[in-house]
Amino acid sequence: MARKNLEEFIQELEAADELVRIKTYVDPILEIAEITDRVSKTPAQNKALLFENTGTDFPVLINMMGSETRMAMALGRESIDDARVDIEELMGDLMTPKSGMLNKLQMLPKLGKLASWMPKVSNKKAACQEVIMKDPDITQLPVLKCWPADGGPFLTLPIVHTKSPVDGTRNVGLYRVQVFEKDMTGMHWHKHKVSAGHFNEYKKLGKKMPVAIVLGGDPLYSYAATAPMPPNVDEYVLAGFLRKKRVELVNCITQPEIQVPIDSDFVIEGYVDPAEDFILEGPFGDHTGYYSLADYYPKFHITAITHRKNPVYPATIVGIPPQEDAWIGKATERIFLAPIKMTMVPEIMDMDLPIEGVFHNLTIVKIKKEYAGQGQKVMNAMWGAGQMMFNKILVIVDEDVTISNYADVARLLTSHVDPERDIVLGTGPMDVLDHSCSAFAFGGKMGIDATKKYPEELRAQEQIHNPLHAALINVEEVKAQFPSVVDVYGGLLDKGISMAFVSIKKDRPKHVKKLAKELFTLPGFQQVKMLLFVDSLFDISDVADVVWRVSNNIDAKRDSFIFEADDNGEISHIALDGTRKTKEHDNFQRDWPNIITSNKKTIQAVDEKWDSLGLGEFIPSPSLKYLDQVYNEGAVAE
């Protein structure tokens, strides 16, 4: 479903009772983010929010795709899975061998439709250029500062347009943009991104690089900018397919080499000069739930700002999950399942990206297993599939598993996995935002083959499956014997999941490895396959929180310790060190970031104005749970 503009989507949301208009003044500095964080984490009150009084001329729309319902609405479908079905059908038609002339002719309408979704430069008068700022000033927009330690205000939903100077291919990406001056921002594209490749091409040519940033328009533009498209495929082809109508583009006014959608709400035109020194950009409270720390990125110089009449400024916030990005990620999981399984890994039946894994840290894949070693084969294929190269922990299960039932997955994982045999550790490229790697954007990966095993895959023909009970672990005795242990949680054992959590005060090198080795010799731990270690600051009975912490805080190869069984009649074990890493105890040479929370002043300000917001029953700040877990008030955990 194609929309004329963002206002049309707002009307759809309002008609579906999925939007709240907030007329009370709310400060774009910290307050909008704090309110959105509360709403997005409360399912019964989770709505899109339109802040109409921002202290600027423009309203802010946020959380517009922040639920399964609204994400499906943005896609123009009844459900997110409907988009997957459409793409699966299209790819099936295109990839099926055509043996006869009749079959080939029958494909012509399909190919015609495909051509009709290609973006097209229009000569129409563009709504996005109805108003041209005489003196471009990005500070006139309601740019949000989301979290206290952020380096400044950031555009959080900017659609960045670049082109290759070599072959003219366009890239559309979603990269945060920090505002420094009225006509200058940072340009935070990671080294793995296509726009960074375009930048390098301009640098070799010694030319300035034209860039345009779009805000608003059809929400599908924002989604397409996040999608893991191949480098040579235009993101607006995906948008055209999803909306069943081509994206119409117009040349920018001061950067005519770049084309943008005619129905955009705002267009910010400018250039990046590769010969210029980079600027220190950040920190930024990121989608991992931790701050990404300050680093040097190119400067973006603004040459024009245009917008349609009565535009809406779109934004999002990211932080400790769940947030709006979880549903954007769920759409990507569904939509790109078909291309992955049809073109690269045909045995894949389904996959799931748990919210706690923040996209790249944890992936569960269901396969139709037909031979020994197939789980490992799928691991290698997945890690070579586009942005799956950033995946940290990959779990492979059988076709009869409901992968959205995480308790069942964990139960099968620990019953089907022999750590010394079924866990594969390696290294490779990692996401730039992964703070746990010893080296920047390079670190460990873990593949877990949780499928049923063929005889040739077994260490022994008979595997031990002893009953597990949390009561077998005497927590007080453990704490008395090991003073660094603060708590032990064995609640999963009673559910048949051979996994326990241990919180500790780490005080020496190799602390976790040595402690795990000793714990696994104790009667209550001998049948526990997996121990997850975390810091002492939080409640380890919160399983989702532990999974989020550990998947963020481990370099899967460096921080995984496998203890082989003494003989084939015993089980093997694995311990994961999900604690904060330091120079003193871990020889970790990088700065470690803090988790993201609001501050007491902002929380109090929102508490006081809550009744005037029209958001229903009072929602306390999610940050209250985490305030005492922050190491200081800055972005770096010191």
Residues designated as active site: 286
Would you give the DSSP letter of residue 128?
A: G
Is residue 236 within 8 Å of residue 172, measured between CB atoms?
Answer: yes
Residue 530, burial from CB neighbour count under 10 angstroms (0-12, 13-18, 19+): buried
**What is the distance between the alpha carbons of residues 305 and 376, in angstroms, rounded to a whole number?**
51
- The single residue listed with the structure tokens 């609001």 is 598
Q: Which two tokens stand for residue 527?
A: 């049948």
- Which amino acid, 403? I
Is residue 285 within 8 Å of residue 146, measured between CB atoms?
Answer: yes
Q: What is the DSSP string of 268-319?
A: EEEEE-TTSPPEEE--EE-TTSBEEPPEEE-EEEEEEEEE-SS--EEE----
Q: Which two tokens stand for residue 423?
A: 């866990």
Is residue 370 within 8 Å of residue 122, measured between CB atoms?
Answer: no
Give φ, ψ of 125 to 5 degrees: -70, 125
Is residue 177 within 8 Å of residue 185, measured between CB atoms?
Answer: yes
Burial readout 488-501 (b: 16 or more C-beta within 10 A, e: otherwise) = bbbebbeebbbbbb
Is the dihedral angle over the CA atoms 4, 6, 11, 14 positive or is it negative? positive
- Bond prior to 219 in cis (omega within 30° of 0): no
Is residue 272 within 8 Å of residue 139, measured between CB atoms?
Answer: no
Distance of CA 117 to the CA centre of its chain: 27
**What is the distance between the alpha carbons of residues 38 and 42, in angstroms, rounded to a whole number?**
7
Is residue 100 within 8 Å of residue 281, measured between CB atoms?
Answer: no
SS3 content of the chain, % helix, strand, coil (to 5): 35, 25, 45
- Bond prior to 467 in cis (omega within 30° of 0): no
**What is the distance between the alpha carbons of residues 558 and 426, in angstroms, rounded to a whole number?**
10
End-to-end CA distance of the chain: 49
- What are the E-state strand segments in 308-404? 313-315, 348-352, 362-367, 393-398
Kind plus residue range of the DSSP H or E element containing 86? helix 80-95
Q: What's the chain's length in residues?
A: 638
Is residue 221 within 8 Å of residue 239, measured between CB atoms?
Answer: yes
Kind plus residue range of the DSSP H or E element containing 171? strand 170-174
Residue 168, burial from CB neighbour count under 10 angstroms (0-12, 13-18, 19+): exposed
**What is the distance between the alpha carbons of residues 113 and 122, in angstroms, rounded to a whole number?**
19
**What is the distance between the alpha carbons of residues 178 and 279, in angstroms, rounded to a whole number?**
10
Is the dihedral angle over the CA atoms 300, 156, 288, 81 positive or is it negative? negative
